[in-house]
């Protein structure tokens, strides 16, 4: 956190310099001393402090200034920093005005000019004021602040990106918080056109930023350091992170490319309670954070947000192309892109995604759901974990399950927990057939098992309805099943024949695709077990097969 500020204001340059000199001599080790030559200039300084979230401890203003007197300045400054200590420097003739200002502007003290010697006539008074201020001072947040609208998809995107990349931030809703409105007014930004507004501790800001812009500002790496690596891993979920840790720890120059945030779909899970070694469970964010720290300790280079758009083979190299047009080559490529939530195709949903309709847990929206009804579509573990998480905030959580039983797709421990929660209701044989709302979600229509349609008010809908792989960029490169999942190992050997185009005198290794040197692990692989632990296991095992492949290259 920056040092608290003492701001002195005087239109006489010699007096201003003398006051600042005396203040720095006594308080420069604990406070930052700034100066301004007019009330209007001082107000601009305070606005910039507010935008940076820097604390102001004391304002020392001369009373007799043109255009704006010291009292008039302090009156306006009070609106910006209500708890700052306020003092006037006055001449003898201004004493009456200073006394009146104690009541009208709530100034804390006035000092007569000249103040020499400061040890007797200045410092004792300011010591008392500053000690009083410090006794009740609570340091500000000191990090990134995001100003936006709860129902703005772009605001949701920024919040979700920061949260999933473990970047602390403070959320300020423009419709609910006066501070948010005040901060926006200082920037001259058009609220309708420029939100979300992201304010950084150094005083800079971004308006309606992309994930890449935010990433570059907070120091995430989006560009590779080198053109060649032993191992390129595409995807930063459990499988990709495990492969990164094992590959780098065993001496492979490794880069991992993740298009959103490390942790993948598992990283958004509110609670994973059946992961080996964590008897009380852990959140997906915790698992991702631990894994990223471990990978970086072994020297893994992590690019995020960055996306691979294509791959080509130029033996002995595999070359991936990124969204910015750059390329990275490697000896071995591991595809661990996992899966994305399948979208719900019903009338009205497209325009409301991010504005009350969310895919996945979207934990950044939980606090905003305080006391409200939250609807969750899905009957597998992810939906159950989300229901338990939102039950801490929502007045009521309603799970809409297409099947006739939770037990068919959900672990028993979650079924039991949901049954024990009084504010969670499960509706079986139910599905959403329409969503309604102008600028945000207002209602949903539910089709029940009896064929009846019910339209109910709703402001938050979270969707967990299965998943699809993101493998279009591998089209015509590796063999995939009809849903896009990647074939590996013996699944590629049919009737004793190796896959078309296979060039080696051996069968594909267990996690190898139809192209030698390209491997797949985790949920993206055809026939994989869709569990965090199995993804971690496959990522670790894949590295052993990669070593086998590299030994023959």
The 3-state secondary structure of 113-172, one letter per residue:
CCCCCHHHHCHHHHHHHHHHHHHHCCCCCCCEEEEECCCCHHHHHHHHHHHHCCCCEEEE
pLDDT in tens, 314-356: 989 999 999 999 999 999 999 999 999 899 999 999 899 999 9
* Chain region(s) in the chain for CATH 3.50.50.60: 228-339+468-552, 350-463
Q: Where are the beta strands (DSSP E) in 243-336?
A: 254-257, 301-303, 308-314, 317-322, 327-335
Please, what sign has the CA dihedral across residues 490, 511, 409, 379?
negative
pLDDT in tens, 493-539: 998 899 998 989 999 999 999 999 999 999 999 999 988 999 999 99
How many Cβ atoms sit within 10 Å of the Cβ of residue 136?
A: 7
Question: Do the Cβ atoms of 138 and 57 come closer than 8 Å?
Answer: no
pLDDT at 134: 92
What 3-state class would DSSP assign to 399?
strand
- Read off the DSSP letter of residue 498: P
Tokens of 2: 């920056």
pLDDT band at 435 (very low <50, low <70, confident <90, very high): very high
Measured in residues, the chain has a length of 553
**Nearest of 459, 465, 435, 438 to residue 447 by alpha carbon:** 435
**Nearest of 4, 2, 73 to residue 37 by alpha carbon:** 73
Which ranges of 370-411 would DSSP assign to H, the alpha helix?
381-390
pLDDT at 33: 97
Please, what sign has the CA dihedral across residues 221, 223, 229, 232?
positive
Give 228-339+468-552's CATH code, choosing from 3.40.1130.10, 3.40.50.970, 3.30.470.10, 3.50.50.60: 3.50.50.60
This prediction has a pTM of: 0.83
pLDDT at 111: 84
Give 5-136's CATH code, choosing from 3.40.50.1820, 3.10.580.10, 3.40.50.2300, 1.10.3720.10: 3.40.50.2300
Q: What is the rounded (10 degree) CA torsion for 526, 532, 534, 537?
A: 120
Q: What's domain 144-218's superfamily in CATH? A: Glutaredoxin (3.40.30.10)
Residue 98 pLDDT > 80? no
Residue 19 pLDDT > 90? yes
| φ and ψ of 69, to 5 deg | -75, 170
pLDDT in tens, 187-220: 877 766 789 999 998 889 999 999 999 999 999 9
Fold topology of 350-463: FAD/NAD(P)-binding domain (3.50.50)
Residue 224 pLDDT > 80? yes
Residue 365 pLDDT > 70? yes
* Chain region(s) in the chain for CATH 3.40.50.2300: 5-136
CA distance 242 to 237: 8
Q: Where are the beta strands (DSSP E) in 174-227?
A: 197-199, 205-207
Give every CB contact of residue 166 below 8 A, 6+ residues apart in sequence: 285, 288, 289, 292
Tokens of 146: 């995001």
pLDDT band at 91 (very low <50, low <70, confident <90, very high): confident
Tokens of 485: 């999942």
Residue 94 pLDDT > 70? no
In the block, tokens 């200045």 appear at 122
pLDDT at 534: 95
């Amino acid at each position: 956190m920056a040092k608290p500020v003492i701001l002195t204001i005087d239109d006489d340059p010699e007096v201003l310099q003398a006051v600042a000199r005396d203040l720095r001599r006594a308080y420069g080790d604990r406070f930052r001393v700034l100066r301004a030559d007019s009330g209007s200039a001082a107000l601009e300084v305070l606005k910039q402090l507010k935008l940076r979230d820097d604390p102001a401890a004391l304002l020392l203003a001369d009373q007799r200034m043109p255009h704006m007197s010291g009292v008039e300045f302090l009156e306006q400054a009070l609106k910006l920093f209500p708890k700052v200590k306020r003092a006037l420097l006055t001449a003898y003739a201004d004493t009456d005005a200073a006394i009146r200002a104690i009541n009208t502007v709530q100034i804390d003290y006035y000092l007569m000019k000249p103040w020499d010697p400061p040890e007797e006539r200045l410092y004792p008074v300011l010591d008392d004021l500053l000690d009083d201020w410090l006794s009740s001072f609570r340091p500000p947040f000191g990090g990134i602040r995001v100003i936006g609208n709860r129902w703005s998809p772009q605001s949701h995107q920024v919040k979700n990106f920061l949260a999933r990349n473990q970047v602390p931030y403070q959320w300020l809703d423009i419709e609910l918080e006066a501070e948010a409105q005040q901060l926006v007014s200082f920037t001259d930004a058009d609220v309708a056109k420029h939100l979300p507004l992201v304010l950084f501790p150094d005083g800079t800001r971004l308006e309606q930023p992309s994930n890449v812009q935010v990433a570059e500002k907070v120091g995430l790496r989006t560009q590779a350091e080198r053109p060649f690596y032993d191992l390129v891993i595409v995807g930063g979920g459990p499988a990709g992170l495990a492969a990164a840790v094992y590959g780098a720890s065993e001496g492979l120059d490794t880069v991992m490319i993740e298009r959103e945030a490390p942790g993948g779909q598992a990283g958004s899970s509110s609670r994973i309670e059946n992961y080996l070694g964590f008897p009380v469970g852990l959140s997906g964010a915790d698992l991702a954070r631990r894994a990223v720290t471990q990978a970086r300790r072994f020297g893994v280079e992590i690019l995020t947000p960055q996306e691979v758009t294509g791959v080509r083979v130029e033996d002995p190299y595999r070359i991936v192309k990124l969204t910015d047009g750059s390329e990275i080559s490697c000896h071995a490529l591991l595809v661990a892109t996992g899966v994305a939530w399948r979208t719900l195709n019903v009338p009205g949903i497209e325009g409301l995604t991010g504005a009350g309709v969310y895919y996945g847990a979207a934990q950044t929206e939980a606090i905003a759901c305080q006391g409200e009804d939250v609807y969750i579509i899905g009957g597998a573990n992810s939906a159950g974990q989300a229901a338990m998480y939102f039950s801490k905030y929502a007045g009521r959580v309603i799970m809409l399950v297409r099947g006739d039983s939770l037990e068919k797709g959900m672990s028993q421990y979650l079924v039991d927990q949901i049954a024990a929660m009084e504010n969670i209701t499960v509706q079986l044989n139910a599905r959403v057939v329409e969503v309604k709302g102008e600028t945000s979600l207002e209602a949903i229509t539910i089709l029940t098992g009896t064929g009846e349609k019910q339209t109910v008010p709703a402001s938050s809908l979270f969707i967990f309805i299965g998943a699809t792989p993101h493998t279009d960029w591998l089209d015509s490169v590796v063999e995939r099943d009809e849903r896009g999942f990647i074939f590996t190992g013996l699944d590629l050997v049919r009737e004793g024949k190796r896959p078309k185009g296979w060039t080696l005198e051996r069968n594909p290794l267990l996690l190898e695709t139809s192209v030698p040197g390209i491997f797949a692990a985790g949920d993206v692989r055809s026939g994989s077990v869709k569990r965090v632990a199995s993804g971690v296991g496959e990522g670790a095992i894949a590295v052993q097969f990669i070593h086998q492949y590299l030994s023959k290259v």
